[in-house]
Amino acid sequence: MRFISSPMAETKSKKTSLNLKTEEMAQAGLHFGHKSSKIHPKMKPYLYGVRNGVHIIDLEKTAEKLKEALSFMKEAVADGKIILIVGTKIQAKALVKQTAEECGLPYITERWLGGTLTNFETIKKRIDYFKDLERKKKEGGLENYTKKERIKFDEELKNLEIKFGGIKILDKVPDIVFVLDMQKDDLAIKEAKAKDVKVVALADTNVDPTLADYPIPANDDAMLSAKYILEKVKEVIKIAQSKVKKEK
């Protein structure tokens, strides 16, 4: 996405706690919203204005809300709570997987499976079956089957990896769901609400930010925007995990 300087980026960079700088946010394109015709009314308090028919997000508001979200996640991890990262948009999948794996968090980058939260007992049975099948293959437990049967097991393992690979470390419903695209992964938010799971989410100009407990007004389309947010999330989670480790 082409960078268009914003009035916020033209002023002296303002730094908040947690090392958040509006200038860096502008360089990552966090301030670009959607066309003015696609505005959600509840996003108006987070807007700076319109430029070339595109809504510009107020990065001072972004910094404020991002700070709140990061502080919340940092404290949650320090308290031993589980965060599930959800990012099924093609351009964000690799970043989500990398961030989650580096932090030891569960993640979903493929299609959200209905019932992941609201019917977790059934999902957990499939995860247990997947893990058991993986174990059997690793230990040579499938060697007694015919070649045709082993090929079938391998195909099944590939499908199970796609569906459950990112959440196979989940033993219970997560405490927090972090969503990178509220519109694309709206089912994740609906299920989180149904199970009283807290929602942290990027809120672009075309979504209802009140659906998230901790909305972060920001561009949810650009790779650089997602990368900036995920790096900040990883930073606070690593700090919290390090603190927990020292206290043990």
Specify the CATH number for the domain of residue 239: 3.40.50.10490
Final residue of a structural domain among 166, 185, 202: 166
Say whether both 74 and 197 belong to one domain. Answer: yes
**CATH number for the domain including 157?**
1.10.287.610
**Residue 238: pLDDT band with limits 50, 70, 90:** very high
Q: Reply yes or no on whether the pLDDT at 124 is more than 90.
A: yes
Determine, yes or no, domain membership for 1.
no
Cα separations in angstroms, 54 against 22, 48, 93, 209, 240: 19, 11, 26, 18, 37
Quick one: pLDDT at residue 7?
43
Quick one: pLDDT at residue 13?
44
What is the number of domains present in the chain? 2
- The Cα–Cα gap between 9 and 37 comes to 25
Average pLDDT for 146-165: 93
Quick one: pLDDT at residue 143?
83
Residue 191, SS3 per DSSP: helix
Say whether both 75 and 138 belong to one domain. Answer: no
pLDDT tens-digit series, residues 129-141: 999 999 988 888 8
Say whether both 136 and 111 belong to one domain. Answer: no
Beta strands 54-57 and 83-86 are: unpaired
Say whether both 45 and 101 belong to one domain. Answer: yes
Quick one: pLDDT at residue 138?
87
Determine, yes or no, domain membership for 209.
yes
Quick one: pLDDT at residue 246?
81
Say whether both 129 and 155 belong to one domain. Answer: yes
Contact predicate 223/49, CB 8 Å: no
Final residue of a structural domain among 107, 140, 166: 166
Q: What percent of the chain has pLDDT over 90?
A: 79
Cα separations in angstroms, 4 against 10, 62, 159, 242: 11, 18, 42, 38
Determine, yes or no, domain membership for 41.
yes
Determine, yes or no, domain membership for 110.
yes
Say whether both 137 and 237 belong to one domain. Answer: no
Quick one: pLDDT at residue 38?
83
Final residue of a structural domain among 106, 137, 166: 166
Say whether both 184 and 238 belong to one domain. Answer: yes
| Number of Cβ within a 10 Å radius of residue 154 | 13
pLDDT tens-digit series, residues 6-62: 444 443 444 445 778 999 999 999 999 988 778 899 999 999 999 988 999 999 999
E strand spans, the chain: 15-16, 20-21, 32-35, 47-51, 54-57, 83-86, 107-108, 176-179, 198-203, 214-217
Residue 141: give the domain boundaries.
120-166
Beta strands 83-86 and 107-108 are: parallel
Q: What percent of the chain has pLDDT over 70?
A: 92
Determine, yes or no, domain membership for 2.
no
pTM of structure: 0.90
Quick one: pLDDT at residue 5?
42
- Type of residue at 163: K
| Number of Cβ within a 10 Å radius of residue 245 | 8
Say whether both 81 and 154 belong to one domain. Answer: no
Cα separations in angstroms, 69 against 103, 195, 233: 17, 20, 9
Cα separations in angstroms, 10 against 7, 17, 22, 112: 5, 21, 10, 40
Quick one: pLDDT at residue 186?
97
Quick one: pLDDT at residue 79?
95
Determine, yes or no, domain membership for 109.
yes
pLDDT tens-digit series, residues 78-102: 999 999 999 999 989 999 999 999 9
Determine, yes or no, domain membership for 243.
yes
Quick one: pLDDT at residue 12?
40
Say whether both 73 and 157 belong to one domain. Answer: no
Say whether both 88 and 138 belong to one domain. Answer: no
- The Cα–Cα gap between 70 and 74 comes to 6
